[in-house]
Chain A
């Protein structure tokens, strides 16, 4: 598989992934158009719920080639990050490529049978149809449709039912008895907001998950314990584990086992997970931390979250919703709670409404989402690329590395396998993930702590050095220092290194040899 004759590129979504892709491809000379349904760039950062923000330390969530200003508050507040995106856009000259307020309504094959896709879009009631040589879907994992579980009796409920996306301010929660449903970041944030202004606050969730503290033991930023190569070796091994990882998870298994039990002990103490909640339950998760942290609800809660439960300000219920009653909710554990406002912090649905039936049929309808080669390409959808459909702890960096990979692939410096090999690779990933990773509607796109392995894979593809640490102590830093956006600065800038140039030549030579031999 290879990209041919690409000149015009449509990028759908002007969020972090879309902007990083536009910046990278514009610099390479491609004619890019970025479609954004909203009147403002930024995607999820353009309009969030009350008091939303980045959940990881600021140095982990920034463009590698455009650091946040030094005076940015830690755990960057949403509006501050939005301004940062605007400045990124201006600094790298991306703005002229943006088409704000332009909603893509359809992606279908080009009628002229040339490689690429035709895009139908709608802006101010006017519809346009344009062909593009390459389409990059950069709308992220979730659609704009709220995921609200269907609970019986909702019509009988006298109060108000909201989704987290309706909570632009705290006002709807003020003075009310509130139940928040869910245990992810947005649900726990909503519960915190309700605790600030509401009367009685209930948090209802089926399963508890291991929270990630901002600082381990209140001292060490979590990146030091989670985002280094040592920890990356101790998590369930990647698709093709290195010999060391194989050893660690074979004969060395007790080492990984005791490491994670110590992590669990630390989290139990730090977050007081033995706190008794309704029906004498606790906040202790069922699954081991090294498995649970690959689930959908992995989150870094606000520091006061467990304190609010411990103090009784938030009443936690580890139960499902049986039904709505006229005065509140009946829970699966037999409890009934009286509330006049229910907030669903249950996320968004995953769907791409604008795909043609043909694309949908090819992508399939697996419950855990569609799997892609390198989380970007489908072998049967040439010139359609997904960037931003990979969830990691440093999403911005991951998207920038993906964008660089795409630029290198377009330039012929990544040797893409043929369709059969791509399918085999996808099947391997599917089998690997399904063998151990907890089910979620986005399992296909979850990388999380495997981030370092995924970045290594992409970097190797275009001949860059996956070992990013520099200096005298580089080998030691590789082992214990956390990986951060700054480590990928030259990748985002697209600076070719000598080894990469050699790799590029080798790729070209192999490709032309294969072509001559009739393989390519």
Chain B
């Protein structure tokens, strides 16, 4: 369980960091509401991904399983 949580947090943090950088650069380039606002958006983005990383990972795994089953069913349905 701990390993799963840790994996989720690490993955979330990695995606969050990338997303935060993208948001920060976009906000700065747009020139709206200045540097503090851009930084604030970036911090939130990184934080949310990190905190919800394990949940996102769990949902992703469930979705991957469901999607695979659904594809298999579709494939067998069309083969018939």
Interface residue ranges, A against B (CB under 8 Å)? 242-244, 247, 252-259, 261, 460, 465, 467, 474-476, 478-479, 497, 499, 502-503
Contacts and interface: CB of A to CB of B under 8 A. Distances in A.
Contact of B66 (A242, A261, A478, A502): A261
Nearest to B15: A247
**Ordered nearest first, which 6 A-B pairs have the shortest CB separation?**
A254-B63, A258-B63, A475-B44, A465-B32, A254-B64, A499-B31
Interface class of chain A by DSSP: helix
Contacts of B33: 465, 499
Contacts of A499: 30-33
A244 B19 contact: yes
A258 B37 CA distance: 33
Contacts of A256: 63
A255 B66 contact: no
B: interface residue count bin = 20 to 34
A479 B48 contact: yes
Contacts, number: 59
Nearest to B63: A254
A76 B64 CA distance: 42
Nearest to A258: B63
Contacts of A259: 63
Nearest to A478: B41
Contacts of B70: 257
A244 B22 contact: yes
A465 B66 contact: no
A258 B66 contact: yes
Contacts of B63: 253-259
Contacts of B62: 254, 258
Contacts of B45: 475
A476 B67 CA distance: 29
Nearest to B62: A258
A475 B56 contact: no
Nearest to A242: B22
Contact of B59 (A242, A255, A502): A255
Contacts of A255: 56, 59-60, 63
B30 A475 contact: no
B40 A254 contact: no
Nearest to A252: B60
Most buried by B among A256, A258, A460, A476: A258
Contacts of B30: 460, 465, 499
Interface string B21-63: 0100001001111000100110111001000000010011111
A254 B67 CA distance: 6
Contacts of A257: 63, 66-67, 70
